[in-house]
A and B are shown apart, each in its own frame.
Chain A
Amino acid sequence: MKTYIPNKFIVDRDPERCIQCQVCVNQCSFDANYYDAEDDEVKSREENCVGCHRCVVFCPTQALTIRKNPLDYRENFNWRPEVIEDILKQAESGAMILTGMGNDKGYRVYWDHLVLNASQVTNPSIDPLREPMELTTYLGSKPDKVELDSNNLKLKTKLAPQVKLDIPVIFAAMSYGAVSINVHESLARAATEAGTLWNTGEGGLHSKLYKYGANTIVQVASGRFGVHQNYLDAGSIVEIKIGQGAKPGIGGHLPGEKVSSEVSLTRMIPQGTDALSPAPQHDIYSIEDLAQLVYSLKEATNYEKPISVKIAAVHNSAAIASGMVRAGADIIVLDGFRGGTGATPKIIRDNVGIPIELALASVDSRLRAEGIRNRASIVVSGGIRNSGDVAKAIALGADAVYIGTAALVALGCTLCQQCHTGKCAWGICTNNLTLTKRINPDIGSRRLANLLRGWSLELKDILGGMGLNALESLRGNRLSLRGIGLTDTELKILGVKMAGD
């Protein structure tokens, strides 16, 4: 069938600069560049280009420019080009449209409508270059009070297990299979260097990464891939994944082509078979079922590790979160609708779930109103882009944040949204061996650790500017935020005042 979908990008190759070296041909995993031997000229199949910029970065003479194909349809606010093209795709394929990454629609980004405070006159700002500035955070359930041995001032209360973070930024769950082993190794090494954690995602932990266990969150998801006693013992936190912001209510599907022998070993499934994660966990159909899984994992790990439960941010997150805390979760993870994924039905990604800012604010308020906020840490994810977002999330009430997309961008990702194709030209979201070697764990871990270092310096500056020298004084401190351009209802949900008020 002839496709009616026009190409999205124009590959502009400056003939004056191009030396026919064919680097772009080799770099493009989407087959958009080729060498025409007859004409002795590198040419492009523009209909294949996804705009990932791999060729642009690697072209030695900067001969390439990728431009958007202007596609001037007759203007229509309802029937936008994307809408038209999605219909064309389905008319030609008869299938669901799959995509990668998180919701890219123009919904309000609340981070961009929140601003932070700074000290002037009545309290001094603190200079992080001269004074200690503390970002240390402990994840885990806390009691409301401690008891002491009255005669010798020794601690009598035994706290539930706590995991220490030197920076309140954790690498989000991305499974081995969806991303390559080199990405996992880069994340694990960077987390170890930065004193934070990374998350295995639902595909198990490769045997060569067990040595990073102290900095690892091991995930238990609906497919239970790669879950066994050693795996649970390896991590410092066990996370039950109920849902994911990019596809709330939807399971996962790792196509058989991506299940290589190594992936098969780690996931404990036959090579080449599709790895299907059911939409729900089939042993959790209600809150008391969740409590049973939480406590079975606590039993299995001897009550030595916090158990985390991750849900997608949805309409009644606050009530669900309260139930999760009562079901014994030590950490609750909320994933907003901008959270990324390796593959999701586009219609789900773009239409289901709510922004993380609102979910976080309402969950934190609810847990406080019920007097159970101390009983669980809150970790949020889904669209955290920089240290400013981190600071705002903490001020709204988060203990820490997860970053997934931002970490991949540090490794080269340009959000071309082709993760589901397995062709990622940056070698991130693929298990094709010629592509995966594009991520060198020595360099990958350096880039990730650098990112965290940069953010931690910025967080210290932000704190110091507000006259605070410990992160916990920002946590839940919504007076340090003001809203701009928000309605009264939005301000009320976020629990912040309008700027100027």
Chain B
Amino acid sequence: MRDLTEISNPYSDGKIIDSCSIFGMMDTSGKCFSGKDITKAIGNMHFRGNGLGGGFAIYGLYPEYADYYAFHIMYLSKDSQNQVESFLKENFHVVVTDEIPTQPTPAIINPPLVWRYFLEVDMGKCVLQEPDDYVTEKVMQINTCMDGAFVFSSGKNMGVFKGVGYPEEIAEYFCLNDYQGYLWTSHGRFPTNTRGWWGGAHPFNILDWTVVHNGEISSYGINYRCLEQFGYLCTMQTDTEVVAYIIDLLMRKHGLPIEIVAKIMAPPFWDDIERLPQDERELLIALRQVYSSMLLNGPFTIIIAHQGEMIGFTDRIRLRPLTVGVKGSMLYLSSEEASIRLISPDLDKAWIPMGGEPIIGRLATENQKQFITGVTEVRTGNKLR
């Protein structure tokens, strides 16, 4: 079995430490737009990264193949590509295969091959198992057992593009101006020690969930041990991986809504809980009792996205920045307000949410008019403008 730490964590540190810029934008009316603006916005936070990782996640990306799992896979060699492709053929119906178009970019040196596949789960093989679980298992198999290959993304109607470089360079390399989506997130990375590895860049993905994250989670040591109890092996020693697994466990397996999940990862203080009405108090006390080991302690801001939804929040005492901007049906989440204003100078509202308070953007539907939620939006949104 291939030791992933060989690649992502050459010095076997207990955990990879990094910090970064994050940006997310979503048109809650579902209208698609190109990568031009987000590249400009994340590029404006150039100095928050150090050129060792940049990436983008795009939703609504492949409407013509919306029913197929879209795999973006990175290869270090032709051999590994052959090996993975025969593995895919064994386990899936491969509908389309193509190489992801790139253009020569001076800053991008020695890039791996990156290919795209549209796959249908082979229902003959996937018995007694949800297709999502089947896909997760296969992705883990490729990532941990196959040399020189790594799955960037594996969701439907979405995709991740990432690599070693500043995010604006990655955007140029993958020609992101040519793609359209209604929800984009991006990330510029500043790892303190890892030599560049394309798979280590963000967004981190499993199925159609992506996480971009700016932080250094001090409670990592217990978070990963707790996840182990639920069968998740944290092989990459990154906070982002821990965040992604907690979300997968709580939302997909335990069926909790994101509002509750945010209260588990960034819970209110006991003193504040005491002052709440009884029902809410009982709920929050129980959440802290039961999920105490999933509290993410220490500085972080995360933007989580999946089909139709983008969520951003910070740690409970907001040790890392997050600014929210709203313009019409557009929701922006950013490490810095300047980046939002650069691409949308005339915002309806801009504010800094309270620590731990989730800001949620959802695709508007007929019966769901309120598409952006967040308490301080109502309370302080106008004042901070």
Contact = CB atoms under 8 A, between A and B. Distances in A.
A475 B292 CA distance: 9
Interface stretch (A41-49, A134-142, A248-256): A134-142
Nearest to B300: A123
Contacts of A374: 229, 290
Contact of B286 (A159, A468, A474): A159
Contact of B289 (A138, A373, A478): A138
A468 B297 contact: yes
Interface string B214-235: 0111111110011011100000
23 contacts: A123-B215, A123-B319, A136-B270, A140-B289, A146-B290, A146-B291, A153-B260, A157-B290, A371-B229, A468-B219, A470-B297, A472-B288, A472-B292, A472-B295, A473-B218, A473-B219, A473-B222, A473-B295, A473-B298, A474-B222, A476-B225, A477-B219, A479-B14
Contact of A473 (B19, B290, B297): B297
Interface stretch (A124-132, A196-204, A426-434): A124-132
A157 B295 CA distance: 20
B35 to A, nearest CB: 30
Nearest to A482: B14
A134 B268 CA distance: 11
Interface string B233-261: 00000000000000000000011110110
Contacts of B291: 146
B354 interface: no
B293 A475 contact: yes
Contacts of B317: 126, 131-132, 469
A479 B221 contact: yes
Contacts of B226: 476
Interface in A93-146: 119, 122-124, 126, 131-132, 134, 136, 138, 140, 142-146
B269 interface: yes
Contacts of A477: 219-222, 225
B15 interface: yes
A277 interface: no
B229 A373 contact: yes
Contacts of A159: 286, 289-290
A469 B298 CA distance: 8
Contacts of B271: 132
Nearest to A140: B289
A480 interface: yes
Contacts of A282: none
Nearest to A135: B270
A10 B15 CA distance: 56
A154 B279 contact: yes
Q: Which 8 A-B pairs have the closest CB atoms?
A: A479-B221, A473-B219, A473-B297, A472-B292, A477-B221, A123-B216, A467-B218, A477-B222
A125 to B, nearest CB: 9
Given A155-B279, A371-B229, 17 more contacts: A122-B192, A122-B216, A132-B271, A145-B254, A146-B256, A153-B257, A159-B290, A374-B290, A467-B218, A467-B297, A469-B317, A470-B292, A473-B222, A476-B221, A477-B221, A477-B225, A479-B220
Contact of B218 (A155, A162, A466): A466
Given A146-B286, A155-B286, A476 B293 contact: yes
A497 B257 CA distance: 37
Contacts of B316: 469
B282 interface: yes
Given A123-B298, A155-B286, A159-B286, A468 B218 contact: yes
Contact of B269 (A132, A144, A473, A479): A132
Contacts of B222: 472-477
Instruction: State the main secondary structure of chain A at its contact with B.
Output: loop
A394 to B, nearest CB: 10
A371 B317 CA distance: 31
A71 interface: no
Pick from A153, A476, A477 the residue with the most CB of B within 10 Å.
A477
B146 interface: no
A148 B295 CA distance: 19
A162 B289 CA distance: 9
Interface string A456-489: 0000000000111110111111111000000000
A368 interface: yes
A155 B299 CA distance: 29
A386 to B, nearest CB: 22
Interface string B281-322: 011001111111101011100000000000000001101000
Interface string B76-88: 0000000000000
B94 interface: no
B113 interface: no
Pick from A371, A468, A472 the residue with the most CB of B within 10 Å.
A472
Contacts of B228: 368
Contacts of A468: 218-219, 297-298
B17 interface: yes
A134 B297 CA distance: 12
Contacts of B319: 123-124
A368 B297 contact: no
A155 B282 contact: yes
A122 B219 CA distance: 14
Contacts of A472: 222, 288, 292-293, 295
A373 B229 CA distance: 9
A470 B295 contact: yes
Interface in B161-209: 192
Contacts of B290: 142-146, 157, 159, 374
Nearest to A475: B222
Nearest to A395: B221
Nearest to B249: A145
Given A123-B216, A468-B218, A368 B229 contact: yes
